[in-house]
Amino acid sequence: MDKEAIKFHIQGLLKAIGEDPEREGLVETPERVANMLEEVLEGTAYSNHDIARMFGKTFTDESNGESESAVVMKDLTVFSYCEHHLALMYDMKVNVAYVPRGKVLGLSKIARICDMAAKRLQLQERLGRDIAEIISEAAGTPDVGVVISGCHSCMTARGIRNASSVTVTTTYIGEFKTNSELKKLVAFD
């Protein structure tokens, strides 16, 4: 990430909206924004494959693949930025489930995968697909379900200004596509 370019352009943006980038409250704003973007968009530096490798710590599944039980994590919180308006996507809850096929992921790794995939300019639909793809690779399973619920400031704070709107997206791969019982595991209550 080119933080010097970000600082230069933020200073230009401040001027373009009629602000004085030299006034007390704004002098350090370009640097603060560059630091913030480096942090909140960290995931842009990594491919889905990279993230799967980073957080792919697994343990042997004691059932040796004989069980059809799923690992389910609900209400993981993330936020992201919409690639259309650079607007915040917030109050996002992610439910993830997968059927182990010989190995299971460390639980914190699932949360880290969701967090890192969200740290990109994103669409909520793509975020679900990215998480499913990363979990599938990291856990070595074709069977993954991801459901995301979130608010988008491009809907709530501008344009239509519908403050109560919530967007829900679903991504099902493998057995989750056709198995209604598996879909119920990952659904919001």
Active site residue 152: yes
Distance, in Å, from the CA atom of 40 to the CA atom of 113, rounded to the nearest integer, reads 14
Q: List the catalytic residue out of 68, 83, 125, 181.
A: 83
3-state secondary structure of 39: helix
H or E segment and range at residue 138: helix 124-139
Catalytic residue of the set 122, 133, 151, 152: 152
Distance CA 174, CA 185 (A): 15
Distances (CA, A) of 15 to 24, 56, 60, 76, 85: 14, 45, 57, 39, 20
Q: Which backbone phi and psi does 18 adopt, to 5 degrees?
A: 95, 15
Which of these is catalytic: 9, 19, 31, 82?
Answer: 82
Residue 49 is a catalytic residue: no
Q: Are 105 and 58 in contact (CB under 8 A)?
A: yes
Q: Name the active-site residue from 114, 124, 133, 151.
A: 124
The verdict on whether 151 is a catalytic residue reads: no
Q: Is 122 noted as a catalytic residue in this protein?
A: no
CA distance 45 to 43: 5
In which residue are the tokens 């909140």 written?
Answer: 40
Q: Catalytic: which of 19, 31, 85, 137?
A: 85
Considering 22, 84, 125, 181, which one is annotated as catalytic? Answer: 84
124 is catalytic: yes
Active site residue 83: yes
Q: Mark whether 114 is an active-site residue.
A: no
What residues act catalytically? 82-85, 124, 152, 154
